[in-house]
Amino acid sequence: MPSATTYGIFILTALAILAIPGPAVLYVVTRSIDHGRSAGISSVFGITTGTIVHVTLAAVGLSSLVLASRVAFDTVRYVGAAYLIYLGARRLLTKKTDDGVEADAPITRRALYTQGVIVNLLNPKTIVFIFAFIPQFVDLNDGHVGFQIVVLGLTFAALGFLSDSCYALVAGSVADRLRGTPVIARVERWFGGTVLIGLGVASALVAPHRSS
């Protein structure tokens, strides 16, 4: 286990980083605006699950294989970008009736959760972040490196869940009050679709730094 001082510094640093909205926050906000607070929370659960999977892979060293291979890393990056663009395009193409209700079958909470998992699993920035950030707080002299990574990683995932949930609740609450008019329905549709496509394009064009 890291010392109490190290663990405290880790928590403060993680909170400072989480205070800056990133792609995951934007994804959660778009889902909350489109489908409400509960949908945003479902997306947060998915994002958090993806983070936990990355932490687990980091603890056993599997993610290092992706970081070491340019082809594998770029494959993950482009597949993730394509998935975000697909979600955004589908959102733009979803028609709504005059009362603001989606003509297609409404998306389920399970589907939103699954999408959140996939989005974060295919986010190379998450992989790079975990490998660049967490090891700085691991005490090699203490041993049990894998266990320390799990403890720090789960702590970061929990803090991220709380932070993202706040964004989901706020965005969902505001959208719920405005939802119901044709104008708001169009704004939700174009805002959500455009943001998702923008995130996908940014993920494809902006390559995060890889460890050599």
Residue 83: inside a domain = yes
56: which residues sit within 8 A by CB, 6+ positions away? 150, 153
Token pair of 103 as six digits = 């003509």
pLDDT of residue 67: 58
Check residue 103 and give its pLDDT.
47
SS3 letters for 18-57? Answer: HCCCCHHHHHHHHHHHHHCHHHHHHHHHHHHHHHHHHHHH
What average pLDDT does the chain have?
77
Look up residue 49 and give its two tokens. Answer: 């699950």
**Any domain includes 57:** yes
Query: Does residue 6 belong to any structural domain of this protein?
Result: no
How many domains does the chain contain in total? 1
Q: What is the pLDDT of residues 56-115, one digit of tens each?
A: 888 887 656 665 666 766 776 687 678 778 777 877 777 654 444 444 456 788 999 999
Alpha helix segments (H runs only) across the chain: 4-18, 23-35, 37-60, 63-68, 70-93, 109-121, 124-133, 145-178, 182-205
Residue 139 included in any domain:
yes
Amino acid 46: pLDDT: 95
Please indicate, yes or no, if residue 181 is contained in any of the structural domains. Answer: yes
pLDDT band with cut points at 50, 70 and 90 for residue 48 = very high
The confidence score (pLDDT) of residue 40 equals 92
- 23 in a structural domain: no
Q: What is the pLDDT of residues 6-39, one digit of tens each?
A: 888 889 988 887 877 777 888 898 888 888 889 9
